[in-house]
Amino acid sequence: MTTELTVMVAGATGMLGTKIVSALLDKGNIDVRAMVRSLNDSNAENRQKIEAMKAKGAAIALGDVMQPQTLLPTCAGVDVVVSAIGNSEVTVPGQKNLIDAAKQQGVKRFIPSDYSVDYRKLDYGDNDNLDKRKDVFEYLQLMGLEYTLVLNGMFMDFIAYMPLFDLEHQTFQYWGDGEMPMDFTTTDDTAKYVAEAVSDPGLANTALEVAGDTLTPKQFKATYEAATGTKLTEKQLGSVADFQAWITAKKASASSLEEYVYHQYIYAMVSGKGKLDRIENARYPHIKPMTVKQFLSKGDS
């Protein structure tokens, strides 16, 4: 089988990046470069991931998004750059450096590190993490580099962190009327969709919107109870406007992002502002994404 594309993955040792590298290699006709900062990573788990990627067929490329001079050789000869850089102080400047290098080296397409609700519809200030996505996307458009956004709602893998659950008190709590549909996808399935997106010409300068499952908060509660056999008390906390006011007050007094950012993600969903409007799972019918019930039944939550 001839190699059709060379794809470079930044953030290759991260939770999602490792899965994207694996999904790309599973395609069988893609030359995959996994970008890492060092072959001798101080983190033993990362060293193991690097060796596993090499063993599966990935080429390991050295590069640091905060050292622009290292990115030019890493992007040389690359058709598509996939960013899987997580939320940190390098999310914006690092990806902008990567976009600059990709542009200079003639990379054909750039997939930024989004993997979220539709942040394009959010206002700045709605979500501190997604503000970074908006900033990078605007820069990507400004630079004129062809892009594909991958939007998958919320990762099912993070269900345990959702403020909807107060499992200590066996309570399911929500803001709004409990009837707004919310989108969820596993990281494994998201990686599979990314592997398809890199070579799909119909996704130039647009978003691929996918969801493993779409449930309202009340449906989510019922699904959780059915999958786990645990009965939860339902508690309505107030309107969406009340929720927004609560987040504003919490953010003003918080000592860390973690005290309110998960609530910001829930706000994006229960308000409907981040809802995926054009879910295209049928574009790749061979991918059978996991549902919330299946995920919870696995005991991964």
Are residue 71 and residue 32 in the same domain, yes or no?
yes
Q: What is the mean pLDDT of residues 152-166?
A: 91
Are residue 11 and residue 146 in the same domain, yes or no?
yes
Nearest residue to 4 via CA among 106, 75, 79 = 79
Q: With the CA atoms of 59, 64, 65 and 69 taken in that order, what torsion angle do they form, in degrees rounded to the nearest 10? A: -100
Q: With the CA atoms of 237, 238, 243 and 246 taken in that order, what torsion angle do they form, in degrees rounded to the nearest 10? A: -70
Residues 118, 154: contact at Cβ < 8 Å? no
pLDDT in tens, 89-132: 999 999 999 999 999 999 999 999 999 999 999 999 999 999 99
Are residue 190 and residue 251 in the same domain, yes or no?
no
Q: What is the mean pLDDT of residues 177-185?
A: 97
CATH number for the domain spanning 65: value is: 3.40.50.720
DSSP-assigned states of every residue in 16-83:
HHHHHHHHHHHHSSEEEEEEES-TT-SSHHHHHHHHHHHHHTPEEEE--TT-GGGHHHHHTT-SEEEE
Domain count, the chain: 2
Instruction: Identify how many contiguous H helices and E strands the chain contains and give both numbers.
Output: 10, 13
Domain containing 239 equals 157-180+214-270
Are residue 200 and residue 229 in the same domain, yes or no?
no
pLDDT in tens, 163-176: 898 888 999 999 99
Sign of CA dihedral 55, 61, 62, 63: negative
Q: What is the mean pLDDT of residues 74-101?
A: 97
Are residue 189 and residue 176 in the same domain, yes or no?
no
